[in-house]
Structure 1
Amino acid sequence: MAAEGNPDHSGQAELMSFLEKEGIVTKTYDHPEVFTVDEMMPYLEKMNLEGAVSKNFFVRDKKKRNHWLITAHHYQSVNFNTLSKKLGVSGGIRFADESVLKEKVGVGQGCVTPLAVLNDKKGEVKLVVEADFLKEGKHKHLHFHPMVNSATLAITPSDFVKFAKATGHEPIVVDMTEPTDC
């Protein structure tokens, strides 16, 4: 059964308005609605985009008190046990329910994006980013869903950091390149 996603595009409009207000220039590429990074990649490969493409996870701790939005390379596996140790989370991390995803960052499954921290007005979600994404000079652009799963947005790494800080979400930069399981 397909996930509901965010079909009304209101979140995308709010995001684009925020980016414009912050002086952040992006480019958006439309494609058919997708629910996994594997479904998305054939469309992006045809577009010959320059830079890193992300896959994203919304997770919580065992007690359901803390939440993280994790961004990694589309091809990268993420070992939640290793990552939870790097983040100092006892008891590990696991996927959060879609209802919590929608409550905390305003998007559904298939639309998870680090840009959704814009909707975390209470500052309850921590943003975790693969270290390679932010290495100086490594990637021309980073590619994320713009709150909908029918488009991909290109943003420079420096503008992505500017965006994150403007939303009150200083990125937690973590090397996730170790052998993995997710």
Structure 2
Amino acid sequence: MAEVEIPSTSPDNRKMAGKEEIIDELKRQGYDIEVFEHPEVFTVETMMPYVGHLPGVHTKNFFLKDKKKKGLWLMTVKHDREVNLGKISKEVGAPGGLRFADESIMLDKIGVGQGCVTPIALYNDKNKDVKFILDSDIINGGHERMYCHPMVNSATIGIKPEDFKSFIESTGHSPILLNF
């Protein structure tokens, strides 16, 4: 797969945070994070050989739009969850159901491309255009850490679930917790 050029600014000319900026921000806010470098991965299946041994919950992420084009959604679930977009659409009230959003929209709204979707990218959603759906087990399951990409798919970060929730809330996003 070809490398995606991520624009350095959004339409309102603000700089989008990348890997180093997001790691610095997490540390600045006092969160205890671990960073694990690995080859680029584009699926959960190809990622797990590199990080599957780490204690905690591993995630997979989806960037979605509703069919009526009225809303954008980022969804984070445990890596091994079956996802039924029709059922989830009804639970969150997405007009017309949820569909995968185009990569150009991801780049514009959260500053990441295909294969790099991460809830940490909500940091770049300064206008709060994206709603966040979160598997409740990630926060409430008693996990030591939760793992996701830090804006790139060549690394994984581990963060305590309570710190992750605090970070997401610091971006102005309130997770919609769903039981899967």
Give TM-score, length-normalised by structure 1.
Answer: 0.89
Structure 2 residue 149 is the aligned partner of structure 1 residue 142: no
- Supply the AA of the counterpart residue of 1:36: T
State which of 39, 46, 68 in structure 1 corresponds to 2:46. 39
| Separation in structure 2 between the aligned mates of residue 154 and residue 21 of structure 1, nearest angstrom | 16
Q: Secondary structure at the match of 2:40?
A: coil
Q: Does the 8 Å contact 2:68/2:95 carry over to 1?
A: no
Q: Secondary structure at the match of 2:156?
A: strand
Residue 171 of structure 1 is matched in structure 2 by: 175
User: In terms of mean alpha carbon deviation, does 62-71 or 157-166 score higher?
Assistant: 62-71
Structure 1 gaps, min length 5: 177-182
Q: Does the 8 Å contact 1:59/1:93 carry over to 2?
A: yes
State which of 139, 153, 157 in structure 1 corresponds to 2:157. 153
Q: Does the 8 Å contact 2:42/2:115 carry over to 1?
A: yes
CA RMSD of aligned residues (A): 1.6
Matches within 5 A, 1:1-182: 1-2=1-2, 4=4, 11-45=18-52, 48-135=53-140, 138-176=142-180
Deviation at 1:23, TM superposition (A): 1.1
Q: Secondary structure at the match of 2:55?
A: coil
How big is each residue's C-alpha offset from its partner over 1:115-157, in whole Å with a ceiling of 9 and x where there is no partner? 0000001011111110111115x20000000001001100001
Q: Does the 8 Å contact 1:5/1:148 carry over to 2?
A: no
Deviation at 1:42, TM superposition (A): 1.1
Give TM-score, length-normalised by structure 2.
Answer: 0.90
Deviation at 1:61, TM superposition (A): 0.6
- Supply the AA of the counterpart residue of 1:132: D
Taking a change above 3 Å as real, the CA distance of residues 55 and 5 of structure 1, as seen in their structure-2 partners, is: farther
Q: Does the 8 Å contact 1:128/1:174 carry over to 2?
A: yes
| Separation in structure 2 between the aligned mates of residue 50 and residue 24 of structure 1, nearest angstrom | 17
| Separation in structure 2 between the aligned mates of residue 69 and residue 26 of structure 1, nearest angstrom | 22
Q: Does the 8 Å contact 2:70/2:95 carry over to 1?
A: no
Structure 1 runs, 4 residues or longer, greater than 2 Å off: 1-6
How big is each residue's C-alpha offset from its partner over 1:5-49, in whole Å with a ceiling of 9 and x where there is no partner? 76x9x601111121122111200011111111111011113xx20
- Supply the AA of the counterpart residue of 1:114: P
Residue 180 of structure 1 is matched in structure 2 by: none
| Separation in structure 1 between the aligned mates of residue 56 and residue 80 of structure 2, nearest angstrom | 13
Aligned residues: 171
| Separation in structure 2 between the aligned mates of residue 41 and residue 5 of structure 1, nearest angstrom | 25
Deviation at 1:65, TM superposition (A): 2.2
| Separation in structure 1 between the aligned mates of residue 177 and residue 45 of structure 2, nearest angstrom | 24
Percent identity between matched residues is 47
- Supply the AA of the counterpart residue of 2:102: D
Q: Does the 8 Å contact 2:33/2:159 carry over to 1?
A: yes
Structure 2 gaps, min length 5: 9-16
Residue 14 of structure 2 is matched in structure 1 by: none
